[in-house]
Structure 1
Amino acid sequence: MSDSNPQEGKAPQPAEQRPSAAARLATVDELELAIDQLVGGGDGLGRFDGIPIFVARSAPGDRLRVRLVERRPDYARAEIVEILEPGAGRREPPCPYFAECGGCDLQHLDDALQTRLKAEALKETLHRIGRFETLPKIRVRAAQPWSYRLRTQLHTEASEDGVRIGYHARGSNRLVPVDRCPVLVPELEGQLLTLAARLPEKPPRRLDLAAGDGGAVTTAPVVEGLPHGPVETRVGDLVYTYDARCFFQGHRGLLSALVEETVGAFEGELAYDLYSGAGLFSLPLARRYSRVVAVEADRVAVRYAKNNARRNRIANVEAVSQAVERWVGRIESGADRVVVDPPRTGLSLEVRRALTTKRPRRVTYVSCHGAALARDLRAMREHYRLDSLTVLDLFPQTGHLETVAQLERI
């Protein structure tokens, strides 16, 4: 019997007859994969014959055995079966619920490494989606990585054993009951131990909690026996009131830094604060501009913005309760400044069009979603120059960052 390779002597299969990488991947359930980088949102990225494979809770430098859980024509997703070789900076997650809970993505990475990798992922997103060949040097600001979060949204479930509270599992509506959460400020985390016992037999499906200064906590919707109503937080020398129903930025240790990076040292006559919430940026803007118009769809937040202006003796802020997309055409041409802090979806076509036609002298874009930011900056690049970029790690242990982009009219 010959020991020769049965394929020896045969002509190589023509390239057009060889299965494509996607076809080869379709025959595979598990494979070994090296993780090359972290991408926006916190997943690790490896490649199979050039096809991107995204793996949750992996780390750059990991060598893994993974199981494919989703196949698409141009990418796939996988879950970790075994860590064959850990990447540098990988650690044991401190939270006992990390494996199941969908709230955090990156507890398996050292804290400083998380921030650096997220900033690198943002830069890659701006190059790839925004088509920026060069970028200004990115400034990075971070603070405490644990016990920082001022807000949380809990889910509830009534069972035979009583009410359970927790967070949804990753990519699922399945409840993961928790009695602790180390990213929350202590006064919120302390609520988790007793909250379920204080809820009625038929609890609200969702419960929002927010913390203020001095250990104050508020909840929404109103449930008998739970604290509700306004709380207050001091940012610099300004005092803000809000409650659990309206949006307020969530990292206690970076509120002042976020305001500082957003407002900056610019001055003028007229500034607009779009998606203004309870006035976090509107009030300090009013100290640098003769007139500030703050626009917000949430009526509760607008009411707090007006109260916050009065409480801080600021009389030159006009708070408007209307959807930004419906109102934005009223921006005066050539205004000095527009600050936008949109939801994760970014700016609508109507808002981008208004900015590029009304041409304010400076636009400040505060973003919590790098891909949406990159898309919008690309759409405005013929009209605005990207002057500076600052990333603030407002969401440690997750794949998210806050970015402040300062744009100057060309």
Structure 2
Amino acid sequence: MKKRTSVQFYSSRSARQQPKSLLLVPALRVEKLSHDGRGIAYWQNKPVFINGALPSELVKVDITSSRARFFEASVTTLIEPAPARISPECEHFASCGGCHWQFVEAEQQLLWKQQAVIEQIQRIAKTEVETVVPVIGSQPWGYRHRARLACRVVKGQLHLGFRSSQSEQIVEVTQCLTLVPQLRQLLGPLQDRLSSLKGKRSIGHIDMAQGDTALGIALRLVKPLPETDLQQLEHWATQHNVCVWLSYGPDHELVPLRAEQPETLFYSLYNEEIRLNFLPTDFIQANPYINEAMVKQAIDWLQPFAGGALLDLFCGIGNFTLPLAKGTGADITGVEVSKSALKRCLHNAQLNGMTNVTTYQADLSVAKPLPRSLKGKEFSGILLDPPRAGALEVVNQIAELKSQRVVYISCNPATLARDTAVLVKHGYKLLKLGVLDMFPHTAHIETMALFTR
């Protein structure tokens, strides 16, 4: 049953920092959502992007920013709520900068995410999708296997939690519904232990992660901790069966706290046939349930075959590289800017007995980024999984590689649409498009697109 006991509004940090508007704005009817999850209404012939508003709602707003082509606003009064609005589950919803779509029914979240991607493709890329595949959904809570905690000491008191939606302050959390239970249960004991350290002011932030068989945290330090603190941390880590790494200095190298702890964490893919080692500071997908489905769908769409060659751009530690190489006989080339990630990728390939993986280091955000050694090579398929900025420079070079299939995994519908326009210009058509709900209760949209020619 839907819970409608109260109405709370999420407001972005940027909106809350703006002064109160003196503009007298009438009640606005929200018509649709932007790709970043804000409601869109219209006033004075300009769009108004409204934090905390849903389509069909009638709201009173405060204008937080007035631009030449649009306004930005936040809800002050909800006059007519949308049928999809529900009460948030989390007690920190109104202040935490995290899951700001908790007030939307889960099924409606998926529908609006899919609509947002298609609208961006149509509007920016000026093309249509031949097949929109069903959304791959996630369990709504307890899905997150990694997180970064902010840390700050104010008047001698350590505050540990997530960034506030309203300021740079930290919202202390002793429970987070999105975290897997093992990490969630660690929040309170971790806060207690760190608060007692003499060198707690040296802690910048904390990365925490769950592997298949162990929990791990990495403390980013501005200077080393005193020996007494290290002893207390070691006792705590042993008591709670947690692997702890310390990081300080310009190279951010991680040093294990205990000699007897594992060198790394790991997660598995393909029913534990593939093992990928990682550290809490490495980039891995936070939602392993969606990641497993995403990897399988990417392989299905790329159709690797023995004797073929595939190019994995933004390959990281090998999340797609290794599954593509496993059992297909195809030669896989991975390209990544991070030296540490490439080192981890090659180590993971060796760990899994794979000899058909080659890697190159290259900054894929610069003009003509692909290594010269790849020129003239033909790849039967290309996979790219760029950051939010997209892969504009790379897609301008993809046509030269003569690949028939390109799988593009995106975390930003706007840059996906922009890059789609470039691929279409080079003769590709958008054959398939599908949304993956990597982060339920947020406006974050993970999308997979298949281009063919």
Same structural fold, with TM-score higher than 0.5 when normalized by the shorter chain = yes
Amino acid at match of 1:278: I
TM-superposed CA distance for 1:220, in Å, is 4.4
Partner of 1:404: 448
Amino acid at match of 1:312: N
Give, in whole Å, the separation in 2 of the partners of 1:180 and 1:29: 40
Asked which structure has the greater CA Rg, the reply is 1
TM-superposed CA distance for 1:360, in Å, is 1.8
Q: Per the alignment, in what secondary structure is the counterpart of residue 186 of structure 2?
A: helix
Q: Give the total of aligned pairs.
A: 383
Q: Deviation per CA, 1:226-264: give whole Å up to 9, x if none.
A: 623521111223121111121111112212101011121
Amino acid at match of 2:63: L
Give, in whole Å, the separation in 2 of the partners of 1:196 and 1:171: 22
1:2-401 superposed matches below 5 A = 28-170=23-165, 172-199=167-194, 200-221=199-220, 224=230, 225=233, 227-228=244-245, 229-236=263-270, 237-264=273-300, 266-268=303-305, 269-286=308-325, 287-324=327-364, 325=366, 326-331=369-374, 332-349=376-393, 351-382=394-425, 383-401=427-445
TM-superposed CA distance for 1:43, in Å, is 1.0
TM-superposed CA distance for 1:374, in Å, is 0.2
Give, in whole Å, the separation in 1 of the partners of 2:435 and 2:372: 30
TM-superposed CA distance for 1:152, in Å, is 1.0
Are residues 191 and 321 of structure 1, via their aligned partners in 2, closer, same or farther at CA, if it must alter by over 3 Å? farther
Structure 1: where are the runs of 5+ without partners? Answer: 1-25
Mean alpha-carbon deviation: is it higher for 313-322 or for 244-253? 313-322
| CA RMSD between the two structures | 2.0
Give, in whole Å, the separation in 2 of the partners of 1:49 and 1:305: 53
Give, in whole Å, the separation in 1 of the partners of 2:36 and 2:203: 29
Q: Per the alignment, in what secondary structure is the counterpart of residue 331 of structure 2?
A: strand
Q: Residues 340 and 364 of structure 1 are in contact (CA less than 8 Å); yes or no, is this contact kept in structure 2?
A: yes
TM-superposed CA distance for 1:347, in Å, is 0.6
Give, in whole Å, the separation in 2 of the partners of 1:159 and 1:106: 30
Q: Per the alignment, in what secondary structure is the counterpart of residue 106 of structure 1?
A: coil
Q: Per the alignment, in what secondary structure is the counterpart of residue 388 of structure 1?
A: strand
Are residues 113 and 299 of structure 1, via their aligned partners in 2, closer, same or farther at CA, if it must alter by over 3 Å? same
Are residues 114 and 178 of structure 1, via their aligned partners in 2, closer, same or farther at CA, if it must alter by over 3 Å? same
Q: Deviation per CA, 1:117-170: give whole Å up to 9, x if none.
A: 111111111111111245422431102011101111111111225211122223
Are residues 162 and 388 of structure 1, via their aligned partners in 2, closer, same or farther at CA, if it must alter by over 3 Å? same
Q: Residues 129 and 433 of structure 2 are in contact (CA less than 8 Å); yes or no, is this contact kept in structure 1?
A: no
Give, in whole Å, the separation in 2 of the partners of 1:28 and 1:393: 38
Give, in whole Å, the separation in 1 of the partners of 2:288 and 2:140: 11
Give, in whole Å, the separation in 1 of the partners of 2:216 and 2:351: 21
Structure 2: where are the runs of 5+ without partners? Answer: 1-20, 238-243, 246-262
Q: Deviation per CA, 1:268-308: give whole Å up to 9, x if none.
A: 41111111111011011113253111111222222221222
Give, in whole Å, the separation in 1 of the partners of 2:61 and 2:293: 40
Are residues 29 and 241 of structure 1, via their aligned partners in 2, closer, same or farther at CA, if it must alter by over 3 Å? farther
Q: Residues 277 and 296 of structure 1 are in contact (CA less than 8 Å); yes or no, is this contact kept in structure 2?
A: yes
TM-superposed CA distance for 1:348, in Å, is 3.4
TM-superposed CA distance for 1:337, in Å, is 1.4
Give, in whole Å, the separation in 1 of the partners of 2:98 and 2:141: 14
Are residues 49 and 135 of structure 1, via their aligned partners in 2, closer, same or farther at CA, if it must alter by over 3 Å? farther
Q: Residues 129 and 432 of structure 2 are in contact (CA less than 8 Å); yes or no, is this contact kept in structure 1?
A: no
Give, in whole Å, the separation in 1 of the partners of 2:386 and 2:62: 36
Are residues 48 and 95 of structure 1, via their aligned partners in 2, closer, same or farther at CA, if it must alter by over 3 Å? same
TM-superposed CA distance for 1:218, in Å, is 3.2
TM-superposed CA distance for 1:408, in Å, is 1.1
Q: Residues 31 and 67 of structure 1 are in contact (CA less than 8 Å); yes or no, is this contact kept in structure 2?
A: no
Q: Residues 45 and 54 of structure 1 are in contact (CA less than 8 Å); yes or no, is this contact kept in structure 2?
A: yes
Q: Residues 214 and 265 of structure 2 are in contact (CA less than 8 Å); yes or no, is this contact kept in structure 1?
A: no
Give, in whole Å, the separation in 2 of the partners of 1:206 and 1:189: 17
Q: Per the alignment, in what secondary structure is the counterpart of residue 68 of structure 1?
A: strand
Partner of 2:7: none
Q: Residues 138 and 389 of structure 1 are in contact (CA less than 8 Å); yes or no, is this contact kept in structure 2?
A: yes
Q: Deviation per CA, 1:349-393: give whole Å up to 9, x if none.
A: 2x1221122232221111000000000010110321111112100
TM-superposed CA distance for 1:66, in Å, is 0.9
Q: Residues 61 and 87 of structure 1 are in contact (CA less than 8 Å); yes or no, is this contact kept in structure 2?
A: yes
Partner of 1:16: none
Give, in whole Å, the separation in 2 of the partners of 1:220 and 1:126: 41
Amino acid at match of 1:285: L
